[in-house]
Amino acid sequence: MAVGFSSLTQPTNLGFCSGVMSANFWKAPAYEVPIDKAVRVELLKLHNRDIISENGWPESFWNYVQDRKLLDGEEAQHVIQLFQKLSPGEPARCHMPPWELAFYDETELLFTTTLCFECSNAYVYTVHGKDLHAFDVSEPHAEELLAFLKQEFSLI
């Protein structure tokens, strides 16, 4: 179920926890992405398709957002599961992401990620910094996530 985004503006208190994703794919040296705590997802359409600096995260992200849609309930769980099940892949160099996902627990922003289905890269941003992961864009979870994002936000 989509809800208005005005209730979730720039979060102030960012809490992190330990979480393990499939095959530890999203695990990074300094932290683990707390996907297991996520209950809501905000879909963000980016204007410039830029690599976003981690400096000033998360406030810096809102300057890049063209459109937003907050999901909760079954819709959010579906997107969370698709993201969690992305398989490792081979990266390329473009990273011109048209979309970003922001993952929330009940009250706080957990992490954000920019997704580029051209270069197979996802930059994951937390208070600890930025980490790059390549994912397989040809596997079913990636294809379904891409179709969902295109349905929600056309790129025209």
19-52 per-position pLDDT tens digit: 333 444 544 433 467 888 999 999 988 877 666 6
Bridge partners (DSSP) listed for residue 111: 103
Q: Comparing 45-54, 63-72, 91-100, which segment has the lowest mean pLDDT?
A: 45-54
122 with 95: CB under 8 angstroms? no
Q: What is the mean pLDDT of residues 83-90?
A: 88
pTM above 0.85, yes or no: no
pLDDT (tens digit per residue) in 109-131: 999 898 899 889 888 888 888 88
Q: What is the mean pLDDT of residues 48-65?
A: 71
What's the CA angle centered on 151, arms 145 and 153, to 5 degrees? 100
What structural domains and CATH numbers belong to the chain?
A: 36-152 (3.30.1490)
Q: What is the mean pLDDT of residues 61-85?
A: 90
Does residue 95 register a pLDDT over 60? yes
Q: Across the chain, what does the average pLDDT equal?
A: 76
Question: Which H/E stretch holds residue 113?
Answer: strand 109-116
What residue type is assigned to position 124 of the chain? V
Question: Which H/E stretch holds residue 145?
Answer: helix 140-152
Best CA proximity match to 111, nearest among 50, 61, 49: 61
